């Protein structure tokens, strides 16, 4: 089966601009998660979708971040306006259930805000 796909793989934008990251989970996976890793630090949870519903968005840093999953398939994460501290790698993961194999992560989108 195809893995979790993220697009773009890299993005460089100026402070104040808008960026939209996309995640295509594994087909049939109802659970979709967004995480991010700021340089040199641990991977932090952002939010969790179950199908199209936000199950947990406690990790979203502020209202400049907006995640959607219309139709319960792919998800987008928009940052508007971007700030320097938003730089990092944004990972998406999906799972059918949290079974023995855990999540499957995408390769991430490396976001650089200059």
Partner 1 sequence: GESVGLHLPTLSVQEGDNSIINCAYSNSASDYFIWYKQESGKGPQFIIDIRSNMDKRQGQRVTVLLNKTVKHLSLQIAATQPGDSAVYFCAENMNRDDKIIFGKGTRLHILP
The DSSP secondary-structure symbol of 85 reads G
The DSSP secondary-structure symbol of 9 reads S
Q: According to the binding rule CB under 8 A, does residue 113 interact with partner 1?
A: no
Minimum CB–partner distance for residue 40 and partner 1 (Å):
3
Q: How far apart are CA 72 and CA 69, in angstroms?
A: 5
Q: According to the binding rule CB under 8 A, does residue 21 interact with partner 1?
A: no
Contacting range for partner 1; rule: CB under 8 A; set: 13-21, 31-39, 63-71, 77-85: 31-39
Look at residue 87 and give its three-state secondary structure: coil
For residues 14 and 41, which CB has a smaller minimum distance to partner 1 in the complex? 41
For residues 39 and 70, which CB has a smaller minimum distance to partner 1 in the complex? 39
> Within 49-108, which residues bind partner 1 (CB under 8 A)?
50, 55-56, 59, 89, 91, 93, 97-108
Q: How far apart are CA 45 and CA 27, in angstroms?
A: 22
Q: How far apart are CA 20 and CA 90, in angstroms?
A: 11
**DSSP-derived secondary structure for 65-82:** EEEE-GGGS-EEEEESS-
* Residues binding partner 1 (CB under 8 A): 4, 31, 33, 35, 37, 39-45, 48, 50, 55-56, 59, 89, 91, 93, 97-108, 110
């Amino acid at each position: 089966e195809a893995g979790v796909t993220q697009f773009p793989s890299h993005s460089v934008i100026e402070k104040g601009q808008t960026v939209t990251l996309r995640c295509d989970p594994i087909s049939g996976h109802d659970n979709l998660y967004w995480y991010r890793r700021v340089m040199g630090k641990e991977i932090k949870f952002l939010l969790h979708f179950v199908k199209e519903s936000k199950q947990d968005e406690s990790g979203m840093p502020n209202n400049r971040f907006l995640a959607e999953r219309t139709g319960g398939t792919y998800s987008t994460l928009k940052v508007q306006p971007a700030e320097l501290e938003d730089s990092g790698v944004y990972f998406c993961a999906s799972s059918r259930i949290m079974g023995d194999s855990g999540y499957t992560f995408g390769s991430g989108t490396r976001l650089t805000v200059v």
